[in-house]
């Protein structure tokens, strides 16, 4: 399973060293990512829903400090892993005609490896390593292939996120050291650190250390200001990675680490984070309303959905957990598709501003169809995966508290505020000279989009098949909750 | 071969080849490259010899009847000696192109280099205050001259002036401290002092405490801790690149070798007394260093300022020696190793770019380097990342140890502070990367690439990476674990 | 493959096929689409008739379990189709009417460039509508519920070249979503409140009595919010008039016959729940009453045929809700049944006129058209809607009236006024259209548009016989068939007779008045087309001011002020301040060696001060 | 006896420090550094006399040697500096520094 992590790295280094024409680079990229994808699918097929942690690998790395290279997958991480494996080749297929920069693909491979590692690692140090390494290619891609004042944006984004990660680093070290004080030897393994006994204030501080990193990555409310600029000036590949994988990774980390390590603290703090999440949900949604730059709009819309995910997690019952992890997957699919289509659109009309567009449906019906479909899947109309997830999260919220429930249910309204206006402005109306010879989707673009669309539909119509992999893990956590409530 | 032999061989060889070069420099057969390779060879050989001694714990007083056990050779000194011999070797190797391109690198410079290394060797082995002082002065004075090597450059001579003046000022503190200690202990042998401290009560040690304070201040001056490190920016700026690298990387190691020995052996008892001072010093150093670093336009001065920050990190570890002796000390050793690799690499790249001119290299001079010289840019990036403590480089592991030891010692707040400083450092380090990659290059002049230096730069870069992820899993190469073991042995050899 | 499965998926299949063909091969001949579309809807119509027959005479319930949609914790959602009496009754008119309107549409949309797309949507709509009707648990019902809303969104904005149409579509969907918000929350609360797992209607009604009354009231109210949205009741009615932007068949099918009545269906579906919350029932009754009156008043000042019909739809829906409100569920449903026919007929006729007179819709421009066939159809339909005996609506409406009379006399009064207004505006339209000195001729109406109207006309006349009250020695067979949890109320036959005659008499009087006022006169020209009524009481403007503008402002405030100015500004200024301090500090590093020495001295002194301070006890 | 010497040397040391900081001429600064060293020497001699331990005198000799080498360095420094700027005023030598 380490191949999942290291195949991208190896390929990237190979591409970096060997000189070759750009098309060869792309095809090698596609091949290697497809290999990763097939391995991931193999993983998915052989995944046993009821076993907790599986495909575990464990090697000692820095023995004095008990840092191990230990990876494994369970219901929580499965979704991220699958998304990471599936989306990456699709990016290349969808943008096959564009992006004739070798570095672009090399960096993407690095990112894939980093995300894969972060999603799979069970050792905090390892996790931190990948978590950070992931940033570097993103930094480079924004700086190298970005739009606008990308240099500034890249550095700002980097400082912003690294600040969070450093806080997390200190927290991790604190955990390890206090583990040593209690058990006599260092360990960074998740399973060991579970048994720590921390005082309330300690766990509070460490928790916030972790949360800082995750909150910035996701981002939840006050830490979101890097978001829109970064999305705006980042190249598509990275925007997809950020919105569909990196942010989701942050959300996933909340479950994987915070809920595992600080069960009680999470419960004590849950109300606040639910509050922040709900506020963010509405705040971002409304902020997105009169954005004129499509990328900014979608950036804010994903932020809004991610806040909903956070709410779902911190509601912390089976519906919330499952719903959120389901929303992670489905939103990853939808937003990836949307950003891909934005890139295709940009290639055709060289603009992201809504006002300059219009009438695309007339000249490019298929494009319009897919675009509208993905937009609606973000809104969460029935038969799309988003609907299932939102229903579950709302259900969880209502179970938590009826008023919270109502606020969470506003998500069915929020997304519409901007989506429909956007659809009308972009697709409908009459064509202008920008859009009048707008070429419809090409074969390879369809090849990239159709799988996404089918997956979204399948997850919307037969959710049970997908959810049964997540549910058992969620059950254990939800039952933890019962315990910690009774104690 | 026996350790006794090593103990004598290393300084002897250094001294011999120094004198030899000195004489050879006047002969007609002397060419710059010969002198260069003689020095390089000496360093390499001595490194091999001393590296032979590391990896096991031992202590042996060198010919006590002759030297009156003024010098001692143990795993500790062996480790450090090999460290800074390696450092000196790398510095010189990377500086090849610089040496070739500059006129003022006469044979005296090689001689001085060797002398200073000799002084450092003795300093590391010194077991007695006055010996240490002499060694320190030998080393420092050589370095003074090396700084002012370029007589025609106003900057260089001014740097020389400042360093010399302040250096001797600081040295006098050391002497005063030594006198105070001697006044109450009646000896300057470290072992005797340690015994005195353990055997008497605090009231009888007031002079010792004051003396140790003064000595510490000298050391703080040498490692450029605020407020004693005000010279560092000017001197680093004035000195030519290889010398700057040498000071930043190598000299620091020697100083720390001494400070660790004396602190661990003697003044550990006053640890609780000193901690507030050291912590305060660490914080001030971190703040001041990062404040200075963000404001610089010249990359060299930025690196100089950041070296102050790194001294701050070292002080963090230093403050936690009392509670977490082992982890803190090994953290310091590892950090020194990591830092000298990265710093030598970074300065080396700069010297490589500067082509021997002493003009300041500003951020804008780096623009578009990634296009014109991708390999240089890549390795420079690696060094910068390592300095920034970015994961998967050796610098990260080093910071990791520092923070761990700090937390272990109960100074979590210090670790937090260090993290903040690191966050700030991201700004000025990544600015470099930004300029390397994102800015469009001006007219790209193709400098005749000096393969020799290039190779060593690349090697260093690879080592830096390997130190970050290195593990004995893949091959039977020494990874991070091996380095840890080294420092363990070294500390073990000190008579604690 | 059970009957219901085919019934449900036939339209979906044809929709899918049509969609594929349109995407893959655009030069497809039109008849292919026609064939597919009619196959889909026709098949389901036949099966629907069979199913309702089966249920009516055999008193059997068809059930088909398809698959498990979701099963987490207790949240078990089975996708199960169930045709009990209520569903079959709905099927009885939904599917056939859809089929007829499909036929009609083949004529109406003839030679439209996006013929295929139209029928893809249309069949899709049928599918969702049937799903809504056949669902046996609320979640699946909700899926259908939103599905129809979605398709109606697409169809309203069908002519997307004009952005205004798409905005109408957005409005419709958004307003509906507001209702769905209530619906969904209600379902969630309901699920959490009922103790036993499983979420089919039967389980819910079994568990109802365990829910405390406040919670139940809340749930009932929220459900009704959903109904308001779908069925265009105050205050969520604003989308319906704009929805007329779509092609006329769409208005006929979706915004008259079927979708908008879903709200009524839903309330009737939850009858057991509503019977436990009398105050919500009363609320429903009042909302219905006021919506009916309101719509009727507005309709009197409208000039666009379709708008008039839209408001009349709203008004009729109001009647249905009144009936629901007093607990006369089956009566409401029966009125919905007849309404489907006559409203469909009205729209079709209007559509025919619009086509014939090259897409003019303003009755002032259409004055004095000469089309005898259309006139007869129109007349019958109008007579039906005004509930003149013996047309079908007479029976359904009279039943409502008597129920109201027995229940709440004040609501009855409103209803009575409304029905008179109905007569007024309907005949106003009729007379203005057909009775005028001026004269204009249009193209003859296509056969494919005329044929489907005839069966509807027949139904308009005779559908009433299905539910003849016992006063006419009938046996309310539909009501018995449905056997919903109707509240029983008794009106003495003499009074009921009196009511009917009064009703009819006054209606006729109004018709005569209208004839005097509009037939062969130019009264219509002198009506001032502004003012309170013509502007729909400024409701739209109000919403724009209160909701839309506020949101816009808020959005601006959040994005520009809070995010960028406050938070980002703070962060950037922090960085800036840091730089400033750095520059200040760099001053201290002024390159003068004497100062450096001074700093060293300061350090030294402070160190010793500290030492002295901490060791002073030993000195 | 010892106390007197000690006090004297302390005074000398302080004079040295003050001189270093207050005077602008480099030669005078160098002289104050010499003063520092000699203050230390003086105290060493006094201590050795007090303890009747000769090793201290050896130390002071060594220190004098070191001071001599430093003197050599300083002389060369004067030459270099004076050649660059025809002056030995400290305040002139401030081209280096943290300020940009």
Q: Do C591 and D100 touch (CB under 8 A)?
A: no
Once rounded to an integer, what is the mean pLDDT over residues B2-15?
80
Instruction: Quote the CA–CA distance of B364 and C327 in Å, as a whole number.
Output: 82
3-state secondary structure of A62: strand
**Short-list B18, B7, B22, B75, CA closest to B41:** B18
3-state secondary structure of C66: strand
Structure token digits, residue A50: 């009821």
The answer, yes or no, to whether residue C56 has pLDDT greater than 90, is: no
- In C557-586, the residues whose Cβ lies within 8 Å of chain A are 558-559, 562-564, 567-568, 571
User: B: neighbours with 3+ CB pairs under 8 Å?
Assistant: A, C, D
Once rounded to an integer, what is the mean pLDDT over residues C199-208?
85
Asked whether the beta carbons of B175 and B163 are under 8 A apart, the reply is no
What's the pLDDT band for C587 if we cut at 50, 70, 90? Answer: confident
Sequence-ordered list of residues with C-beta below 8 angstroms from that of B174, at least 6 positions apart, any chain: B133, B136, B214, B215, B218
Instruction: Quote the CA–CA distance of C432 and C361 in Å, as a whole number.
Output: 13
Domain that holds residue D53: 26-88
Burial annotation C75-85 (CB, 10 A radius, 16+ → b, else e)? bbbbbbbbbbb
Lowest mean pLDDT across A158-162, B225-229, C435-439, D67-71: C435-439
**Short-list C7, C28, C155, CA closest to C82:** C7
- List, for residues C377-418, the tens digit of each pLDDT value: 899 999 999 888 888 888 888 888 888 888 788 899 999 999
Lowest mean pLDDT across B11-20, B46-55, C373-382, D76-85: B46-55
Confidence at residue B1, expressed as pLDDT on a 0 to 100 scale:
43
The answer, yes or no, to whether residue A487 has pLDDT greater than 60, is: no
- List, for residues C520-536, the tens digit of each pLDDT value: 887 777 777 777 777 77
Name which residue leads in pLDDT, A102 or A326: A326
Confidence at residue C210, expressed as pLDDT on a 0 to 100 scale:
82
Q: Do D94 and C591 touch (CB under 8 A)?
A: yes
**Short-list C415, C103, C399, CA closest to C286:** C415
The Cβ of residue C334 has, within 10 Å, a number of other Cβ atoms equal to 29
The C-alpha of B236 sits at a distance from chain D's nearest C-alpha, in angstroms, of 10
What's the pLDDT band for D100 if we cut at 50, 70, 90? Answer: low
Confidence at residue A483, expressed as pLDDT on a 0 to 100 scale:
46
Confidence at residue B284, expressed as pLDDT on a 0 to 100 scale:
92
Confidence at residue B474, expressed as pLDDT on a 0 to 100 scale:
53
Once rounded to an integer, what is the mean pLDDT over residues A453-459?
93
3-state secondary structure of A71: strand
Widest Cα–Cα separation across chain C: 125
The number of residues making up chain D comes to: 100
What's the pLDDT band for B477 if we cut at 50, 70, 90? Answer: low
Phi, psi angles (nearest 5°) of residue C304: -85, 125
Substitution target from D13, D21, D77 for chain C, most C beta carbons within 10 A? D21
Once rounded to an integer, what is the mean pLDDT over residues B294-319?
90
- List, for residues D30-47, the tens digit of each pLDDT value: 999 999 999 999 999 999
The rounded mean pLDDT for chain A is 87
Residues of A in contact with B481 (CB under 8 A): 62-64
In this structure, which long-range contacts are made by residues B292-295, counting pairs with CB atoms below 8 Å and at least 24 apart in sequence?
B292/B233, B292/C582, B292/C585, B292/C586, B292/C589, B292/D98, B293/B424, B293/B425, B293/B428, B294/B424, B294/B427, B294/B428, B294/C578, B294/C579, B294/C582, B295/C579, B295/C582, B295/C583, B295/C585, B295/C586, B295/D98, B295/D100
Asked whether the beta carbons of B97 and B357 are under 8 A apart, the reply is no
Confidence at residue A79, expressed as pLDDT on a 0 to 100 scale:
87
**Residue B179 is nearest to which of D16, D47, D53, comparing CB atoms?**
D47
**Residue C593 is nearest to which of D90, D95, D98, comparing CB atoms?**
D90
Confidence at residue A192, expressed as pLDDT on a 0 to 100 scale:
85
- List, for residues C338-366, the tens digit of each pLDDT value: 999 999 999 999 998 888 888 888 888 88
- List, for residues B133-158, the tens digit of each pLDDT value: 999 999 999 999 999 888 888 888 88
**Short-list C210, C37, C220, C215, CA closest to C115:** C37
- List, for residues A65-97, the tens digit of each pLDDT value: 888 888 888 888 888 899 889 988 888 888 877
Structure token digits, residue C205: 């009604």
- List, for residues A113-140, the tens digit of each pLDDT value: 999 999 999 999 899 999 988 888 899 8
Task: Give residue for tokens 């169930």.
Answer: C82
Instruction: Quote the CA–CA distance of D35 and D41 in Å, as a whole number.
Output: 10
pLDDT above 90 as % of chain C: 30
Instruction: Quote the CA–CA distance of B162 and B173 in Å, as a whole number.
Output: 17
Confidence at residue C444, expressed as pLDDT on a 0 to 100 scale:
80
**Residue C600 is nearest to which of B202, B221, B294, comparing CB atoms?**
B221
Domain count, chain D: 1
The C-alpha of C596 sits at a distance from chain D's nearest C-alpha, in angstroms, of 9
Confidence at residue A484, expressed as pLDDT on a 0 to 100 scale:
46
* Residue D90 at interface with chain C, using a CB cutoff of 8 Å: yes
3-state secondary structure of C475: coil
Pairing mode of beta strands C75-83, B59-61: unpaired
D59 belongs to a structural domain:
yes
For C196-243, give the DSSP string. SS--SHHHHHHHGGGS-HHHHHHHHHHHHHHHHHHHT-TTS-THHHHH
Once rounded to an integer, what is the mean pLDDT over residues C96-122?
89
Domain count, chain A: 1
Confidence at residue D98, expressed as pLDDT on a 0 to 100 scale:
60
- List, for residues A6-35, the tens digit of each pLDDT value: 888 888 888 888 888 888 888 888 899 999
**Short-list B116, B147, B119, B145, CA closest to B132:** B119
What's the pLDDT band for A453 if we cut at 50, 70, 90? Answer: very high
Residues of B in contact with A136 (CB under 8 A): 385, 390
Instruction: Quote the CA–CA distance of B226 and B442 in Å, as a whole number.
Output: 38
Confidence (pTM): 0.90
Q: Do B434 and A154 touch (CB under 8 A)?
A: yes
pLDDT above 90 as % of chain A: 28
The answer, yes or no, to whether residue B259 has pLDDT greater than 70, is: yes
Residues of D in contact with B227 (CB under 8 A): none
pLDDT above 70 as % of chain C: 99
- In sign, the C-alpha dihedral spanning A68, A73, A77, A80 is positive
Chain centroid offset of residue B270 CA: 25
Instruction: Quote the CA–CA distance of B361 and B303 in Å, as a whole number.
Output: 11
Lowest mean pLDDT across A419-428, B53-62, C590-599: B53-62
- List, for residues A177-189, the tens digit of each pLDDT value: 899 888 888 888 8
Confidence at residue B3, expressed as pLDDT on a 0 to 100 scale:
64
Task: Give residue for tokens 């006590």.
Answer: B64
Task: Give residue for tokens 């963090």.
Answer: B316
Structure token digits, residue A368: 């319009």
Sequence-ordered list of residues with C-beta below 8 angstroms from that of A91, at least 6 positions apart, any chain: A108, A236, A237, A240, A336, A340, A448
Give burial (CB, 10 Å; 0-12/13-18/19+) of C578: middle
What's the pLDDT band for A171 if we cut at 50, 70, 90? Answer: very high
Asked whether the beta carbons of B85 and B251 are under 8 A apart, the reply is no
Confidence at residue B461, expressed as pLDDT on a 0 to 100 scale:
92
3-state secondary structure of A54: strand
**Residue C582 is nearest to which of B166, B273, B292, comparing CB atoms?**
B292
D52 belongs to a structural domain:
yes
Instruction: Quote the CA–CA distance of D72 and D76 in Å, as a whole number.
Output: 6
Instruction: Quote the CA–CA distance of A309 and A286 in Å, as a whole number.
Output: 17
The Cβ of residue C29 has, within 10 Å, a number of other Cβ atoms equal to 8
Sequence-ordered list of residues with C-beta below 8 angstroms from that of B481, at least 6 positions apart, any chain: A62, A63, A64, B471, B472
- List, for residues C478-490, the tens digit of each pLDDT value: 777 877 777 777 7
C359 Ramachandran zone, left/alpha/beta (phi>0; psi -120 to 50): left
Q: Do B292 and C596 touch (CB under 8 A)?
A: no
- List, for residues B383-436, the tens digit of each pLDDT value: 999 999 888 888 998 999 999 999 999 888 899 999 999 999 999 999 888 888
User: A: neighbours with 3+ CB pairs under 8 Å?
Assistant: B, C
The answer, yes or no, to whether residue B32 has pLDDT greater than 80, is: yes
3-state secondary structure of A61: strand
Confidence at residue A486, expressed as pLDDT on a 0 to 100 scale:
40
Domain that holds residue A280: 262-487
What's the pLDDT band for A485 if we cut at 50, 70, 90? Answer: very low
Confidence at residue A310, expressed as pLDDT on a 0 to 100 scale:
92
What's the pLDDT band for D99 if we cut at 50, 70, 90? Answer: low
Q: What is the residue extent of each domain of chain C?
A: 1-136, 304-315+323-534, 552-618
Q: Do B437 and A132 touch (CB under 8 A)?
A: no
């Amino acid at each position: 399973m380490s191949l999942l992590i290291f195949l991208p790295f190896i390929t990237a280094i190979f591409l970096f060293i060997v000189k070759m024409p750009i098309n060869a680079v792309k095809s090698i990229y596609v091949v290697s990512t497809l290999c990763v994808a097939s391995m991931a699918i193999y993983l998915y097929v052989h995944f046993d829903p009821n076993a907790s942690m599986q495909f575990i690998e464990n090697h000692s790395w820095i023995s004095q400090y008990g840092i191990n290279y230990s990876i494994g997958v369970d219901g929580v991480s499965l979704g991220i892993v699958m998304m990471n494996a599936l989306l990456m080749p699709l990016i290349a297929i969808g943008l096959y005609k564009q992006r004739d920069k070798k570095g672009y693909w090399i960096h993407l491979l690095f990112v894939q490896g980093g995300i894969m590692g972060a999603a799979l690692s069970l050792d905090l140090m390892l996790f931190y390593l990948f978590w950070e390494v992931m940033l570097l290619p993103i930094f480079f891609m924004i700086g190298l292939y970005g739009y606008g004042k990308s240099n500034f944006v890249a550095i700002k984004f980097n400082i912003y996120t690294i600040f969070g990660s450093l806080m997390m680093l200190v927290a991790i070290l604190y955990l390890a050291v206090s583990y040593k004080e209690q058990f006599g030897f260092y360990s960074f393994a998740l399973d060991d650190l579970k048994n720590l006994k921390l005082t309330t204030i300690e766990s509070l501080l460490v928790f916030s250390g972790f949360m800082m990193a995750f909150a910035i990555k996701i981002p939840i409310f006050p830490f979101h200001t890097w978001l829109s600029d970064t999305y705006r000036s980042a190249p598509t590949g990275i925007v997809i990675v950020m919105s569909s994988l990196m942010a989701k990774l942050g959300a996933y980390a909340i479950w994987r680490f915070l809920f595992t390590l600080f069960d009680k603290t999470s419960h004590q703090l849950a109300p606040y984070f639910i509050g922040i999440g709900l506020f963010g949900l509405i705040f971002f949604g409304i902020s997105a309303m009169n954005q004129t730059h499509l990328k900014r709009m979608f950036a804010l819309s994903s932020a809004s959905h991610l806040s909903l995910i956070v709410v779902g997690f911190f509601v912390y019952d089976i519906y919330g957990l499952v719903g959120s992890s389901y929303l992670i997957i489905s939103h990853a699919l939808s937003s990836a598709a949307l950003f891909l289509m934005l890139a295709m659109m940009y290639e055709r009309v060289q603009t992201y501003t809504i006002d300059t567009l219009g009438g695309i449906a007339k000249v490019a019906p298929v494009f319009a169809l897919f675009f509208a479909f993905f937009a609606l899947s973000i809104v969460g109309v029935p038969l799309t995966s988003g609907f299932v997830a939102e229903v579950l999260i709302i259900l969880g919220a209502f179970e938590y508290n009826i008023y919270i429930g109502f606020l969470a249910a506003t998500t069915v309204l929020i997304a519409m505020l901007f989506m429909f206006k956007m659809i009308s402005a972009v697709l409908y109306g009459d064509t202008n000279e920008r859009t009048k010879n707008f070429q419809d989707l090409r074969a390879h673009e369809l090849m990239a989009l159709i799988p996404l669309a089918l997956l979204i539909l399948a997850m919307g119509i037969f959710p049970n098949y997908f959810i049964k992999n997540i549910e058992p893990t969620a059950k254990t956590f939800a039952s933890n909750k019962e315990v910690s409530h009774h104690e | 071969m026996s350790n006794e032999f090593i103990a004598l061989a290393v300084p002897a060889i250094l001294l011999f080849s120094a004198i030899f070069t000195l004489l050879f420099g006047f002969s007609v057969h002397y060419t710059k490259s010969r002198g260069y390779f003689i020095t390089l060879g000496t360093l390499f050989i001595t490194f091999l010899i001393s590296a032979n001694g590391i990896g096991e714990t031992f202590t042996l007083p060198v010919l006590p009847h002759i030297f009156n056990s003024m010098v001692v050779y143990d795993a500790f000194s062996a480790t450090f000696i090999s460290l800074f011999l390696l450092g000196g070797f790398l510095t010189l190797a990377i500086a090849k192109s610089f040496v070739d391109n500059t006129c003022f690198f006469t044979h005296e410079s090689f001689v001085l280099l060797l002398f200073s290394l000799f002084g450092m060797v003795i300093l590391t082995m010194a077991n007695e205050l006055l010996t240490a002082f002499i060694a320190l002065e030998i080393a420092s004075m050589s370095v003074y001259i090396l700084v002012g090597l370029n007589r025609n450059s106003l900057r260089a001579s001014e740097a020389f002036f400042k360093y010399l003046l302040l250096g001797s000022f600081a040295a006098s503190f050391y002497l005063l401290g030594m006198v105070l200690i001697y006044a109450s202990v009646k000896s300057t042998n470290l072992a005797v002092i340690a015994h005195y401290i353990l055997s008497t009560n605090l009231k009888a040690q007031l002079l010792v405490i004051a003396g140790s304070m003064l000595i510490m201040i000298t050391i703080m001056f040498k490692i450029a801790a605020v407020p004693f490190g005000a010279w560092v920016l000017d001197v680093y700026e004035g000195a030519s690149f290889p010398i700057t690298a040498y000071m930043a990387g190598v000299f620091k190691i020697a100083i720390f070798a001494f400070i660790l020995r004396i602190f661990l052996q003697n003044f550990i008892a006053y640890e609780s007394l000193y901690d507030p001072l050291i912590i305060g010093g660490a914080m001030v150093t971190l703040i001041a260093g990062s404040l200075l670093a963000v404001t610089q336009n010249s990359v060299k001065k930025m690196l100089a300022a950041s070296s102050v920050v790194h001294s701050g990190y070292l002080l963090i570890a230093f403050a936690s020696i009392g509670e977490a002796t082992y982890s803190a000390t090994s953290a310091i050793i590892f950090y020194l190793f990591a830092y000298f690799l990265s710093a030598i690499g970074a300065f080396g790249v700069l010297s490589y770019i500067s082509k021997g001119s002493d003009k300041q290299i500003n951020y804008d001079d780096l623009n578009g380097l990634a296009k014109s010289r991708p390999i240089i840019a890549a390795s420079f990036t690696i060094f910068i990342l390592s300095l920034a403590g970015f994961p998967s480089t050796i610098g990260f592991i080093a910071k990791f140890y520092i923070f761990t030891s700090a937390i272990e010692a109960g100074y979590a707040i210090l670790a937090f502070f260090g993290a903040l400083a690191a966050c700030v450092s991201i700004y000025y380090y990544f600015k470099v990367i930004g300029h390397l990659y994102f800015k469009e290059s001006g007219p790209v002049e193709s400098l005749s690439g000096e393969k020799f230096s290039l190779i060593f730069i690349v090697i260093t870069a690879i080592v830096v990476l390997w130190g970050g992820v290195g593990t004995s899993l893949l091959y039977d190469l020494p990874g991070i674990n091996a380095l840890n073991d080294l420092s363990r042995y070294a500390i073990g050899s000190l008579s604690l | 493959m059970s009957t219901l499965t085919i019934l449900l998926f036939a339209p979906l299949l044809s929709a899918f096929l049509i969609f594929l063909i349109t995407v893959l091969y655009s030069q497809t001949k039109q008849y292919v689409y026609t064939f597919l579309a009619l196959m889909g809807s026709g098949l389901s119509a036949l099966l629907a008739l069979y199913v309702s027959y089966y249920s009516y005479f055999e008193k059997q319930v068809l059930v088909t379990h398809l698959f498990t949609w979701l099963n987490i914790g207790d949240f078990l959602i089975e996708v199960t189709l169930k045709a009990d009496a209520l569903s079959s009754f709905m099927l009885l008119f939904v599917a056939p009417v859809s089929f007829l309107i499909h036929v009609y549409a083949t004529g109406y949309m003839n030679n439209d460039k996006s013929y295929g797309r139209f029928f893809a949507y249309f069949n899709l709509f049928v599918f969702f509508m049937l799903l809504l009707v056949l669902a046996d648990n609320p979640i699946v019902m909700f899926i259908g519920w939103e599905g129809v809303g979605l398709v109606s969104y697409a169809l309203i904005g069908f002519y997307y070249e004009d952005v205004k149409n798409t905005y109408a579509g957005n409005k419709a969907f958004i307003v509906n979503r507001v209702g769905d918000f209530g619906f969904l929350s209600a379902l969630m609360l309901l699920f959490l409140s009922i103790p036993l797992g499983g979420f089919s209607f039967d389980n819910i009604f079994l568990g109802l009595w365990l829910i405390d009354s406040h919670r139940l009231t809340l749930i009932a109210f929220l459900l009704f919010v959903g109904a308001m949205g779908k069925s265009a009741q105050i205050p969520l009615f604003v989308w319906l008039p704009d929805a007329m932007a779509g092609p006329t068949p769409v208005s006929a099918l979706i915004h008259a016959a079927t979708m908008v009545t879903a709200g009524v269906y839903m309330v009737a579906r939850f009858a057991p729940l509503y019977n436990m919350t009398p105050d919500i029932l009363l609320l429903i009754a009042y909302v219905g009453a006021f919506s009916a009156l309101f719509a009727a008043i507005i309709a009197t000042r409208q000039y666009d045929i379709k708008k008039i019909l839209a408001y009349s739809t709203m008004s009729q829906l109001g009647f249905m809700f009144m009936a629901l409100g007093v607990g006369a569920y089956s009566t409401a449903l029966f009125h919905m049944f007849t309404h489907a026919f006559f409203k469909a007929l009205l729209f079709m006729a209007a559509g025919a006129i619009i086509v014939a007179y090259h897409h003019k819709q303003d009755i002032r421009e259409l004055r004095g058209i000469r089309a005898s066939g259309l006139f007869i159809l129109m007349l019958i339909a109008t007579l039906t809607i005004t509930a003149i005996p013996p047309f079908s609506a007479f029976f359904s409406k009279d039943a409502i009236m008597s129920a109201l009379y027995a229940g709440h006399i004040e609501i009855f009064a409103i209803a009575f006024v409304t029905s008179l207004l109905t007569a007024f505006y309907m005949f106003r339209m009729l007379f203005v259209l057909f009775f005028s000195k001026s004269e204009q001729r249009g193209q003859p109406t296509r056969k494919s548009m005329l044929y489907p109207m005839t069966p509807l006309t027949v139904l308009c006349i005779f559908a009433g016989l299905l539910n003849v009250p016992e006063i006419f020695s009938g046996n309310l067979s539909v009501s018995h068939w449905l056997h919903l949890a109707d509240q029983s109320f008794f009106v003495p036959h003499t009074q009921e007779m009196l009511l009917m005659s009064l009703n009819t008499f006054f209606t006729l009087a109004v018709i005569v008045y209208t004839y005097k006022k509009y037939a062969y006169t130019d009264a219509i020209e002198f009506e001032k087309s502004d003012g309170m009524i013509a502007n729909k009481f400024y409701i739209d403007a109000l919403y724009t001011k209160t909701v839309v503008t506020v949101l816009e402002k808020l959005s601006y405030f959040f994005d520009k002020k809070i995010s960028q100015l406050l938070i980002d500004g703070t962060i950037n200024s922090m960085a800036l301040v840091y730089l400033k301090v750095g520059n200040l500090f760099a001053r201290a590093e002024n390159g003068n060696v004497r100062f450096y020495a001074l700093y060293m001295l300061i350090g030294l002194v402070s160190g010793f001060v500290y030492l002295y301070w901490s060791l002073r006890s030993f000195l | 006896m010892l106390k007197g010497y000690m006090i004297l040397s302390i005074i000398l040391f302080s004079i040295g420090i003050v001189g270093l900081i207050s005077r602008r001429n480099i030669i005078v600064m160098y002289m104050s550094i010499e003063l520092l060293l000699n203050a230390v020497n003086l105290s060493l001699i006094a201590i050795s006399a007090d303890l009747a331990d000769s090793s201290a005198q050896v130390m002071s000799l060594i220190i004098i040697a070191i001071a001599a080498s430093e003197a050599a360095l300083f002389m060369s420094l004067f030459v270099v500096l004076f050649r660059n700027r025809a002056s030995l005023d400290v305040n002139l030598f401030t081209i280096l520094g943290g300020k940009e």
